[in-house]
Amino acid sequence: MTRFPVIRKTLGRCLIIGIVLLFLFIALFPLFWIFIGSLHPTADLLQARVTFPPAHITLDHYQTLFHAQYGVKLFVRYIKNSLMVGLSVACLTIAIAGFGAYGLSRYRFWGSETMSRIMLFVYVFPQSLILVPIYVLLAHFRLIDSHFGLIITHTALVAPFCTWLLRSFFEAIPRELEEAAAVEGANWLQILIHVLLPLASPGVVTAGIYALVVSWGEYMFAVNLLMSGAKWTVPAGLATYMTEQAIEWGQLLAGTVLTAVPILIIFLPFAKYFLRGFLEGALK
């Protein structure tokens, strides 16, 4: 083989592309199949006769989801709630993580390095353990069953990781720029907002998207902190379709598609930005 380097190189390339394609198939096919399944009539679903392209295409399941107003099933409402909570979490996280990361990257104080590590260390505590104290804490402030309570909880979940991510972006920015701005008479807040945040924008976008993704998918807190169905986020609402006696597969699959699609629509345009931000910031 070594005598034919061209053949060897081509074989290597085929192997690499083969590996990537296999992984992409495993990653994407199940989701694609859910989408195809959601277009099938119930009769076909119950007999496992899901085919591509579908023999009979129907949008009935989506229509039921959009128009159903009975009980607690208000799917459009869930999506609105989730968007509202997710975007608030993203903004709040950027604000908090921005200040935190700025402090950690620019000021050397006793314990600052330990504190950066603690940003990751806090994730060792199991969610099932912190659920109860957070519930009790929020109950004290009468924030159970309120979106604000969920927003600050989600922010608390993602802010440490985002702080840690943003810190490396701030550290990459030369101090001379800040000094120049200070000479011009800018104070630290102006420097942060007008100099550092724009220069660290890949990091800011990455942190915001990360916060949004986590908040959009978070289930355990959403279902335990929100009581009334009208306030539920998508995961909490969708899960109720799963716990029924006889599962309505069509509606469940359509609901799954409607849960996955909004976050894909938000994520994909930023994906390249996110990837670059993550690849640059995650390990520094």
Partner 1 sequence: MTRAGVNEYVGLFNYQKVLSSSLFYQAVVNSLRWTGLSLAIQLSVPLILALALNQRFWGNSLARVLMLVPWIMPTVVVAIMLRWLMEPNVGLINHLLLALSIIREPIDFLGRTQSAFLTLVCANSWQFLPFGTLLILAGLQTIPRDVLEAAWVDGAGVWQRFRYIIFPLLGPVIGFVFFLAFVWNFNTLGLIWLTTQGGPLNTTLTLPVLIYRRAFRGFAMGEAAAMGSLASVALMIVGVFYFKYLWKRPT
What is the contact surface with partner 1 in residues (CB under 8 A)? 12-13, 16-17, 19-20, 23-24, 26-28, 30-31, 33-34, 37, 45-48, 50, 117, 120-121, 123-129, 131-132, 213, 216-220, 224, 234-235, 238-239, 242, 249, 252-253, 256, 259-260, 263-264, 267-268, 271-272, 274-275, 278-280, 282-284
End-to-end CA distance of the chain: 40
Angle at 207 (CA atoms; ends 168, 197), nearest 5 degrees: 65
Using N-to-C axis directions, what is the helix angle for 249-281 and 147-172, rounded to 10°? 30
Residue 69 Cβ vs partner 1, minimum distance, rounded to whole Å: 22
d(C-alpha 249, C-alpha 49), whole Å: 13
Q: Give 150: exposed, middle or buried? Use CB within 10 Å, 0-12, 13-18, 19+.
A: buried
Contact (Cβ atoms closer than 8 angstroms) between residue 188 and residue 260: no
User: Min. distance of Cβ 71 from partner 1 in angstroms?
Assistant: 19
- CA dist 15 and 10 (Å) reads 9
Residue 204 CB, shortest distance to partner 1, in Å, is 18
Q: Measured between alpha carbons, how far is 255 from 237 in angstroms, rounded to an integer? A: 9
- Name which of 31 and 57 has its Cβ closer to partner 1: 31
Residue 268 is which amino acid? L
Q: Which is nearer to partner 1, 151 or 218 (CB)?
A: 218
C-beta of 17: minimal distance to partner 1 in Å? 6
Question: Residue 284 Cβ, how far from partner 1 at the closest point, in Å?
Answer: 7
CB-wise, 68 or 132, nearer to partner 1? 132
Q: What angle do CA 124, 127, 132 make, to 5 degrees?
A: 125
Q: Least CB distance from residue 190 to partner 1, whole Å?
A: 30
Task: Using the minimum distance from each CB to partner 1, give the nearer residue, 56 or 194.
Answer: 56
Confirm if 131 and 221 have CB atoms less than 8 A apart.
Answer: yes
Ramachandran sector of residue 108 (left: φ over 0; alpha: ψ -120 to 50; beta: rest): beta
Q: Which is nearer to partner 1, 158 or 192 (CB)?
A: 158
> Nearest approach, Cβ of 15 to partner 1 (angstroms)?
8
* DSSP H or E segment with residue 118: helix 112-121
**Cβ closest to partner 1, residue 27 vs residue 183:** 27
Residue 180 vs 264, nearer CB to partner 1: 264
